[in-house]
Amino acid sequence: MSEVKVNEDLVKERQKCSFDVEELIHLVDGGKHNTLERKKIEQYVLSIKELKDEVPEEYLSHKERYENSVRKGCILFMVLMKGILERKPSRNDGISYNYKIINGVIKDITPFMLHFGMFLPTLASQASPEQQQEWLKKGIQMIGTYAQTELGHGTFLRGLETTATYDADTEEFVIHSPKVTSYKWWPGGLAQTVNHCIVMAQLYTKGKNHGIHPFLVQIRDIETHMPLPGIKVGDIGPKLGFQTANNGFLGFDNYRIPRMNMLMKNSQVLKDGTYVKAKNDKLTYGTMVFVRVTIVADVAYELARAATIAVRYAAVRHQSKPKPNEPEPQILDYVTQQHKLFIAVATSHAFRTVGRWLWSTYTKVIADMRHGNMDQLPELHALACCLKAVCSKDASTCVEQCRFACGGHGYMQSSNLPIIYGIVTATVTYEGEHTVMLLQTARYLVKAYKQASEGKSLTPTVAYMTKYLKSGSHYWQNTPEGIIGGFQAVATGKIKEACESLFQHVKSGKDYEDAWNLSSVRLINASEAHARAVLCEMFWKEIQRISTTVSPSLAIVLTQLAELYLNYWALEKRGDMLMYSTITKEDISSLQRRYEELLALIRPNAVGIVDAFDIRDEILCSTLGAYDGRVYERLMEEAMKSPLNKEPVNQSFHKYIKPLLIQAKL
Ligand SMILES: Cc1cc2nc3c(=O)[nH]c(=O)nc-3n(C[C@H](O)[C@H](O)[C@H](O)COP(=O)(O)OP(=O)(O)OC[C@H]3O[C@@H](n4cnc5c(N)ncnc54)[C@H](O)[C@@H]3O)c2cc1C
């Protein structure tokens, strides 16, 4: 068999790379051992013939697409369960390589995502040890999802209407959906895939409501998969993305489950119906925080996929003729193109780096919690909320930018950019809606501001406030440290302003809730600014630390990416910098010049840097982004798979167009 030729532009780009791509691959993976492990798993999974699609998914109907994703999901389910148990891939950022491979093989979202992502983690964190022993031994017999959101309520958990009423006579809970708004709506895999759910419901016992609690509910027969009597379950229909996630609805008609199906690690209901409250409500925060923390690493990875596609395509694509006697340049040579793309590359590195730091913070806090120390939970919660909000939104913007940067071809499904966008933009909403997450962090910031004003010491991630509240402004310097200080000054200034607005409204006689609402635009701006200060500081610090452990040539590239990230955001937020620091017009011009210098410095290594994300073609799933750069051939090959190209004349001509032409002649 003849070797497939690699596009010449890509060959040249790779030749001029100034650093060792392999070294960066190991860094991205978190070590050489992880790279080898990942490659082994990829090689195994991706060589399974049955996982390849004869017809691209996009040409299938909604129903066929689902069936195909279940087919492939089941193959992966078995392989990966084995892989997880036997190989335990490194989880240094909270996500396993399995997640990455699954997304490539399924292309969109697998209907089993919630089983691994929410169902098992919730059982692990909220079921008692005895319950875990009983349920987890059922293993694969129990396929589950996490059913919280209802038609009527998502954000406001206390507003959920599904009820779980304890019947002491039969020692059962009666799960009921009293009206249409109480139907569960959205859970992934719920529609046709799972046979069990964690259902969040209002607990009633002895006539008293005790708020929202989790229950393990079987919804389908294990053998026949028929919905059990009292269960109404189905598909919610097509969405912007997540077409194969099998998001479903679920209603209960006085459906009974045994008492022991309430997850009882924290709160309990005794046989006689006595409610025993959890010693600490905060214990239930665990899963919520876990998922938000992992979203930072997830979007970093999806962004790496989008950036790889768009940068490789920009190296292959030639367009326009700025100089009449010279050939059309690669579009990657247009500085505006570099401006669109290099921030996406740098952002992926920033989120992966900060995601790893967040993950290690999370594991430490959870370990402390197990020993009864909850002191750092509020800070972690505030951090996870704002980082989840800002990272998911920035990643969506960057993916969209990558799509724009590919012109018309980026709009093709076969580029895979629309599907990646669908996956990433969903993270803005699920597991805590964007604005609501920022407002959660704002509550913590308001408390911290009050403490700082009273001269009390602050927790590490908000400690910068003390300095800038004292100094009032930031003495600007055009250095990375100066930019980080600028972001901290902006955050402090915005937090102060939001708090003053809030306190002013309260002082003028408004209820706290109304004052909060009136100040909420300032509050979310303050939260976003805080997240940016954290992202810039942690990314820069980590890159500085890592740079001392890698080769000088790689250290240069990493530092350029981190500096680009900082400069990009300093320029984006120049208005804020003007308000809260001593930055001048000249400083801004100099920042702009440095930013342009950085684009030029990164340019020769751009392809090498995205190659170092080391995402195999089968996982990129893109006509535009494959390693060999055969863009046009692939676009044509994929187009030829369209069922419409299977016949020279489509029947609709005879049915509709011809009669129209005849009519028009008359
Ligand atoms: C792709 C996808 C997958 C999902 N998967 C699952 C799943 O597996 N299981 C599950 O249970 N759920 C799932 N969800 C549901 C998801 O968790 C909710 O959509 C999300 O929590 C937001 O709730 P909502 O849709 O009710 O929006 P709402 O809360 O109604 O928000 C609508 C608007 O109101 C604003 N708003 C609401 N409250 C406030 C407030 N207090 N202050 C200011 N503004 C406010 C919001 O900012 C937003 O702009 C999924 C959703 C999506 C999109």
Rounded mean pLDDT, 303-320:
98
- Separation of 396 CA from ligand 1 center, angstroms? 17
Set 431, 528, 542, 563: catalytic member: 431
54: pLDDT confidence band, cut at 50, 70 and 90?
confident
- Structure token digits, residue 291: 């998922």
What pLDDT does residue 524 have? Answer: 98
Q: Whose CA is nearest to atom 16 of ligand 1?
A: 430
Distance (Å, whole) CA 21 – CA 432: 37
What pLDDT does residue 139 have? Answer: 72
Q: Is the pLDDT of residue 354 over 60?
A: yes
96: pLDDT confidence band, cut at 50, 70 and 90?
low
- Separation of 421 CA from ligand 1 center, angstroms? 18
Strands 144-147 and 231-235, bridge-based pairing = unpaired
Amino acid at 498: A
Rounded mean pLDDT, 516-540:
98
CA distances from 503 to 8, 113, 445, 525, 528 (A): 63, 44, 14, 17, 20
Distance (Å, whole) CA 201 – CA 175: 8
Q: Domains in the chain, please, with CATH? A: 1-27+284-645 (1.20.140.10), 116-283 (2.40.110.10)
- Separation of 659 CA from ligand 1 center, angstroms? 49
97: pLDDT confidence band, cut at 50, 70 and 90?
low
What pLDDT does residue 245 have? Answer: 96
- Which of 143, 149, 151, 240 for a ligand 1 pocket mutation test, highest count of atoms within 8 Å of Cβ? 149
Rounded mean pLDDT, 503-510:
98
CA distances from 642 to 143, 629, 654 (A): 34, 22, 20
Q: Indicate yes or no: pTM above 0.90.
A: yes
Rounded mean pLDDT, 577-587:
96
What pLDDT does residue 418 have? Answer: 97
Rounded mean pLDDT, 596-610:
98
Average of per-residue pLDDT values in the chain = 93
- The CA-based angle 271-273-274, given to 5 degrees, is 105
Active site (annotated) includes residue 431: yes
Report the nearest atom of ligand 1 relative to the CA of 434: 47
Q: Whose CA is nearest to atom 31 of ligand 1?
A: 155
Q: Is the pLDDT of residue 355 over 80?
A: yes
What pLDDT does residue 3 have? Answer: 67
Q: Hey, what's the torsion of the CAs at 124, 127, 132, 134, to 10 degrees? A: -150
CA distances from 303 to 27, 327, 347, 398 (A): 17, 32, 8, 7
Residues flanking ligand 1, CB < 6 Å: 114, 146-149, 153-155, 186-188, 242, 247, 426, 429-430, 433, 435-436, 439
- Structure token digits, residue 120: 């098992």
Count of CB atoms situated within 10 Å of the CB of 501: 18
Q: Give the tens place of pLDDT for each residue, 213-264.
A: 999 999 999 999 999 999 999 999 999 999 999 999 999 999 999 999 999 9
What pLDDT does residue 94 have? Answer: 58
- Separation of 232 CA from ligand 1 center, angstroms? 22
Extended strands (E) in 99-253: 144-147, 163-167, 172-176, 184-185, 196-205, 208-218, 231-235, 248-252
Burial 93-123 (b: 16+ CB within 10 A, else e): bbbbbbbbbbbbbbbbbbbbbbbbbbbbbbb
Distance (Å, whole) CA 641 – CA 313: 22
Q: Whose CA is nearest to atom 37 of ligand 1?
A: 155
What pLDDT does residue 283 have? Answer: 66
90: pLDDT confidence band, cut at 50, 70 and 90?
very low
Distance (Å, whole) CA 429 – CA 187: 13
What pLDDT does residue 55 have? Answer: 84
Q: Give the tens place of pLDDT for each residue, 584-594.
A: 999 999 999 99
User: 583: part of which helix (H) or strand (E)?
Assistant: none
103: pLDDT confidence band, cut at 50, 70 and 90?
low
Residues β-bridged to residue 258: 172
Q: Are 236 and 247 in contact (CB under 8 A)?
A: yes
- Structure token digits, residue 330: 């690669």
Share of the chain above pLDDT 70, in %: 95
- Which of 115, 246, 424, 436 for a ligand 1 pocket mutation test, highest count of atoms within 8 Å of Cβ? 436
Closest CA to 28 of 355, 309, 310: 355
Share of the chain above pLDDT 90, in %: 83
Could you tell me what percentage of the chain is helix, strand and coil, using 3-state DSSP and rounding each to the nearest 5?
60, 10, 30
Q: Whose CA is nearest to atom 25 of ligand 1?
A: 154
DSSP 249-306: EEEESSEEEEGGGB--SSSEE-TT--EE--S-GGGGHHHHHHHHHHHHHHHHHHHHHH
What pLDDT does residue 1 have? Answer: 46
- Structure token digits, residue 17: 């790379």
Q: Is 188 known to sit in a ligand binding site?
A: yes
Q: Is the pLDDT of residue 95 over 70?
A: no
What pLDDT does residue 279 have? Answer: 78
